A and B are shown apart, each in its own frame.
Chain A
């Protein structure tokens, strides 16, 4: 004859059964249901808001990208990438817009490293865009939280118009018009911040004749 199990053991078996039942409902059925509905109703967004140009996928409108010149020696990890003046440049990113490595640099407000980085970026960006260093906006000097920020401030976009127009041989007004077109106001007029989406702006730029 087997003795009845002690209460403490029985409680754990009850707990295990409860966990398994809830896992089936909340951990399998629920995400499958949401995926099913989302794939039908919001297919494009549920799959990552992929952007295409000439029929080819070039990225996601939600994830920022690098717009750098090709490296002289692609195998040299020490060679620093240089921004390509033909494109609107995104914000600095601690992890360089890698889609499989999001996250922030986490430097503190009084960090010497951050102070140096901000000052270096101010000088470099001002020279690159041909503007007064004092006028470079903060989003061009600070790294984002995700390292995948697709947006810049309208001020930083405007600052880059002359440089991009000159490099591409386009009229300044034409490029400025594109910046206005891709300036997004706050969601519902008051939520979040005004932005220019660099991925969409550069795509539009690449499609200019």
Chain B
């Protein structure tokens, strides 16, 4: 079988698997977010943490719970990392300095998993599993909880209650993420991902050298790294490391895991608002961007433009032989379109346009399909903007799913959309203005600028992948990118929950012949156009200085 045909079949198999999961998984999530029944273990947990599982919260209380949970998580993880030398299974790794530990703690709590450290030499097993992997679970659950509150804003009327954060967090962790993780951790372990508590184990190779074989509970962490669209590798090489991703099969499983929840959530949305067609329209927009981006990226990589790649005859620099061009491109598009940021090949060495597409994918705001929960709430905010734009065209007050989009709603939506680009562009601008920070670039010229632009885009959008050549383990980058991650995560959540509260208070308006149908192809086109215009106008100048300039000159 030729590489091209195999590449197509692989993408088709992935799409088929995702399509099969869309309805059952989406319905399952809708049910767990709406049922009034608690499991016995959940009741026990509510008792321990001291909350009433049947009492819903007003949006400011829901928000305060999210913020408190994030703050406590950052402090706990920071402490765990700093104290790991005194804990079990630390493997004798050196003490991490304060800036880097702070950056890492924020990074995992913000569902970003930006890593300025190398996993195998900086983290012991206990911090990996009880610190980092726990945040992989709960930061994903927080994203889904926030989108659940937003959807309740559409489904509830004349109330100030948007749900109970502690109930959402517990149910999503225990009923959704944990069971899928157990099953797929075993699937990955069966295909060769390691799962043990060994430290480094020395062997003497056939040519007489000593090689250190790493150990660790990798499979259990690998699965939630992807399922929760986190992306923080157990090892520095992330999913390119053979112990994280040993073959073509495990690779497809990993891509499937990072897409499955974000692509199923539109079904949850459709089901909860009582009109599955609304879910189909949203997933159509997500799918459209994913297919286009994957196809373009694969094409760019197969052309291997760039002087060094032309000389090599294929864009294999930074890619693993067992994956090749097609499986590496499929992974790269999927990981940057979700907020995952795991990599099975290194984007810094991609072709100029291929690498540029990975940046562009993140600039879309991680909405196609985006991170767990955060992808859907980002898309729904853009849908609100699209409905508003359509309303302006015909001169009537816009409404979406029976809720009027007035000044208050549009203020929150606009603030949401402005937050991330502001962080990205200001951060990149400041870094480029400082000579010391410019010196962190590995490559020079337009490609070096792309490294900095990529770093801030990745941090503010909570992606976590990198053009890895850049040296970011400096106090300045650890601090600046830490701030980009935490504001890029929490400010949008503030605006989304405020929006949820504002929508929930409204009395629904009945649909009239003048109402814009939001389940038809026309709306799919309109929403796609709005996304492209918003992103294009915001980021085009920065993209022109980086990847576009490099692509046109090579």
Residues of A whose CB lies within 8 Å of any CB of B are: 7-8, 11-19, 21-23, 25-28, 30-31, 33-35, 37-39, 41-42, 45-50, 53, 56-60, 62-63, 65-68, 70, 84, 87, 91, 97-111, 114-115, 117-119, 122, 137-139, 141-153, 186-193, 195, 202-203, 206
Contact = CB atoms under 8 A, between A and B. Distances in A.
Nearest to A68: B207
A97 B48 contact: no
Interface in B160-198: 166, 169-170, 173-174, 178, 181-182, 185-186, 189-198
Given A14-B65, A108-B469, A146-B241, A30 B178 contact: yes
Nearest to B200: A100
A38 B349 contact: no
B213 A60 contact: yes
B200 A31 contact: no
B346 interface: yes
B215 interface: yes
A193 B68 contact: no
Contacts of B6: 186, 190-191
Given A34-B195, A50-B213, A91 B207 contact: no
A52 B465 CA distance: 36
B17 interface: no
Nearest to B314: A138
A206 B206 contact: yes
B194 A193 contact: no
A209 B129 CA distance: 47
Given A106-B348, A144-B320, A150-B242, A99 B72 contact: no
A63 B213 contact: yes
15 contacts: A35-B197, A35-B217, A46-B195, A46-B219, A47-B196, A48-B194, A53-B206, A106-B467, A109-B349, A110-B307, A115-B307, A141-B316, A144-B319, A148-B241, A189-B1
Contacts of B321: 91, 139, 144, 149, 151-153, 193, 195
Interface in B200-225: 200-201, 203-209, 211-215, 217, 219-221
Interface in B107-165: 118, 120-121, 129-131, 133-134, 137-138
A193 B196 CA distance: 28
A17 to B, nearest CB: 4
Contact of B120 (A27, A45, A100, A144): A100
A100 B123 CA distance: 12
A144 B554 contact: no
Interface stretch (B244-252, B363-371, B495-503, B513-521): B244-252
Given A28-B129, A102-B241, A192-B251, A108 B306 contact: yes
B318 A104 contact: yes
A97 B209 CA distance: 11
Given A59-B213, A142-B312, A149-B321, A26 B69 contact: no
Most buried by B among A62, A104, A190: A104
Given A27-B133, A101-B118, A102-B236, 9 more contacts: A12-B72, A26-B178, A45-B192, A110-B306, A117-B308, A118-B312, A193-B3, A193-B321, A193-B327
A47 B198 contact: yes
Nearest to B253: A191
B318 A145 contact: yes
B213 A109 contact: no
B235 interface: yes
B211 A63 contact: yes
B355 interface: yes
Contacts of A118: 308, 311-312
A118 B317 CA distance: 10
B443 interface: yes
B523 interface: no
B421 interface: no
Given A35-B195, A47-B196, A146-B242, A195 B318 contact: no
Contact of A30 (B3, B181, B201, B319): B181
B209 to A, nearest CB: 6
Given A27-B134, A65-B211, A192 B248 contact: yes
B9 A106 contact: no
A94 B355 CA distance: 20
Interface residues of B, number: 120
Nearest to B133: A27
A31 B554 contact: no
Nearest to B350: A109
B243 interface: yes
A109 B71 CA distance: 41
Among all A-B residue pairs, the 5 with the closest Cβ atoms = A192-B248, A109-B306, A191-B248, A193-B324, A145-B240
B237 interface: yes
Nearest to B250: A187
A107 B121 contact: no
B415 interface: no
A203 B203 CA distance: 14
A11 B65 contact: yes
Given A58-B206, A63-B243, A145-B319, A34 B189 contact: yes
Contact of B182 (A34, A53, A189): A34
Given A100-B214, A107-B349, A190 B220 contact: no
A135 to B, nearest CB: 10
A42 B72 contact: no
B192 A145 contact: no
B278 interface: no
A27 to B, nearest CB: 4
B308 A26 contact: no
A115 to B, nearest CB: 4
B236 A67 contact: no
B240 A187 contact: no
Contact of B10 (A35, A91, A104, A191): A191
A48 B246 CA distance: 10
A105 B349 contact: yes
A45 B190 contact: yes
A138 B215 CA distance: 31
Given A187-B249, A191-B252, A102 B237 contact: yes
A109 B305 contact: yes
A26 B176 CA distance: 12
Contact of A202 (B45, B71, B206, B252): B206
Nearest to A144: B320
Given A45-B190, A104-B349, A38 B241 contact: no
B243 to A, nearest CB: 6
Contact of B129 (A27, A147, A189): A27
Contact of A49 (B192, B220, B221): B192
A99 B248 contact: no
B344 interface: yes
